[in-house]
Amino acid sequence: MNQTNPISPAPDKDWWRGAVIYQIYPRSYQDSNADGIGDIRGINARLPHIASLGADAIWISPFFTSPMRDFGYDVSDYCDVDPIFGTLADFDDLVITAHSLGIRVMIDLVLSHTSEQHPWFVESRSSLTNPKADWYVWSDAAPDGTPPTNWLSIFGGSAWQWDSRRQQYYLHNFLTSQPDLNFHNPDVQDALLDVTRFWLARGVDGFRLDTINFYFHDRHLRNNPPLAPSLRNAQTAPAVNPYNHQEHLYDKSQPENLEFLKRFRAVLDEYPAITAVGEVGDSQRGLEIAGEYTSGGDKVHMCYAFEFLAPEPLTPDFVRATQEKFGVVAPEGWACWAFSNHDVTRHISRWGANIYDSDGYAKLLSALLMTLRGSVCIYEGEELALPEADLAYEDLRDPYGIQFWPNYKGRDGCRTPMVWEKAAPNGGFSLVRPWLPVPENHLDRAVDCQNAEPTSVLNHYRNFLGFRRTQPAFAKGEIEFLIVDTAVLGFARRFGNETVLAVYNMSEHSVVADLPEGNWEPLEGHGFPSELNERSINLPAWGAWFARRA
């Protein structure tokens, strides 16, 4: 067992600031043993692809022991690898390979809840007096036998499940098989911090913290108030879900979480260069909570909310408003932006379903994402401009989609296997039938096809990430918006003595954009054609222009 990894990138404690993090959904990345499910050895074999992109780190979605009711987000053993994904030795090998390629490794910690099969819950539910009786959130029924509060589960229905063993309800913000831990119990916090130390000792470089604002619940079990219909957007839950009908004041985002995050950060700070990014699930206060959790340098390093993962169309005004709001509510904080991940419709389909030049649109969006102020998450297949898969009901595996079909088809459409080789069985993902089908329209976008095409979306990602590395202002600089209209977005990034200008045509039509005041020297190597006049730029559809203040 390799508890201390001998190969590690140089300990730059601020490597995360402006980093590009590549998210891997392990079930769908690469199957190495012909069982139809991706695994850790498969990821290890494909790390050169990620290195060729120029990503700084990988984030691996959960691979812990689990009954897989929610595909790894229901953990039954935090300190082991589920056999379908491999072994701890396989994980140790992956860390060594990644570090040898200059890639840091972040893993997904699911601390808010466990599987009902976790030994902690098995003991907790066994009686009212066992040593772990208070490790989960238990409550007596209301006098009429109904749940103790009106809290709702993100997966639909009440957030409370009756347990016949204890004759009490337990809280589950997600599936009934995912009981919530009781963070008000310090023993629970200590146990989870020990889990964190276990993985740090194995050489990981950081964590993505699932549902970071769900850790604590209101001690007094107060009911959530209703939410006005005009405020019921579909960021945290799909529009068909009654979860959106409440203002979630008491079932999550409690003030006690700040002290726990300080304890968590103190553990990370025992090591020289560890980071954490938190997922904030809140449709009304997401950015404000992200600001609270990343302030002061004593909590988590980065957070992301759902503004850029929501259905709302991406416009120059929306980009500016989101970025500037984060700057106001989190003046000391740092964002980690993503347009796609394993929980939402892929952004090429979510925003660009009716756009003719989908490749041009994909290139524009990738450049925009990589030049906003904050760090960046790229989701596997995004670099290929994969569209959302349209799956038949009988192919669904996601309990969320099965519950709300057909109005909401769940998350399987963004989780289909990665396509590596067009002519290989199942796109090169597996020699046998995969756990989810490989869409036919993904095969022409396979890695081998795009490797061979200099102007492909994949090669654009590589080229633009290379360009980004030559401009530190894009990774770490301040941001000021200079041009915002219905089609054009332009902003300056300032770092040290350098000021870099980025101008984007976010439309299907060519435009002429006036240059901001000052002398601007055009930059090369970004891959976007444009024509500079004396004080204006001719930008083609989905075009971009970059310059340095002379």
Provide the β-strand partners of residue 138: 170
Q: Which of 270, 453, 514, 531 is catalytic?
A: 270
Q: How far apart (Å, rounded) are the C-alpha atoms in residues 59 and 340?
A: 14
pLDDT computed for residue 2 by the predictor: 45
DSSP 108: E
Active site residue 270: yes
Q: Look at residues 284, 161, 312 and name the one whose alpha carbon lies nearest to residue 213.
A: 284
Q: Which of 210, 251, 307, 383 is catalytic?
A: 210
Omega into 147 within 30° of 0, i.e. cis? no
Active site residue 210: yes
pLDDT computed for residue 8 by the predictor: 54
Q: Look at residues 338, 326, 420, 328 and name the one whose alpha carbon lies nearest to residue 375.
A: 338
One-letter-per-residue 3-state SS of 178-227 = CCEECCCCHHHHHHHHHHHHHHHHCCCCEEEECCHHHCCCCCCCCCCCEC
pLDDT in tens, the chain (550 residues): 444 444 555 578 999 999 999 999 999 999 999 999 999 999 999 999 999 999 999 999 999 999 999 999 999 999 999 999 999 999 999 999 999 999 999 999 999 999 999 999 999 999 999 999 999 999 999 999 999 999 999 999 999 999 999 999 999 999 999 999 999 999 999 999 999 999 999 999 999 999 999 999 999 999 999 998 888 876 677 788 899 999 999 999 999 999 999 999 999 999 999 999 999 999 889 999 999 999 999 999 999 999 999 998 999 999 999 999 999 999 989 999 999 999 999 999 999 999 999 999 999 999 999 999 999 999 999 999 999 999 999 999 999 999 999 989 999 999 999 999 999 999 999 999 999 999 999 999 999 999 999 999 999 999 999 999 999 999 999 999 999 999 999 999 999 999 999 999 999 999 999 999 989 999 999 999 988 888 999 999 999 999 999 8
Domains of the chain by start residue, with CATH: 20-114+186-467 (3.20.20.80), 474-549 (2.60.40.1180)
Contact (Cβ atoms closer than 8 angstroms) between residue 376 and residue 338: yes
pLDDT computed for residue 236 by the predictor: 73
pLDDT computed for residue 6 by the predictor: 44
pLDDT computed for residue 97 by the predictor: 98
Q: How far apart (Å, rounded) are the C-alpha atoms in residues 177 and 155?
A: 11
Q: How far apart (Å, rounded) are the C-alpha atoms in residues 51 and 435?
A: 27
CA geometry: angle 401, 78, 184, nearest 5 deg: 90
pLDDT computed for residue 550 by the predictor: 84
Q: What is the CA radius of gyration of the chain?
A: 23
pLDDT computed for residue 420 by the predictor: 99
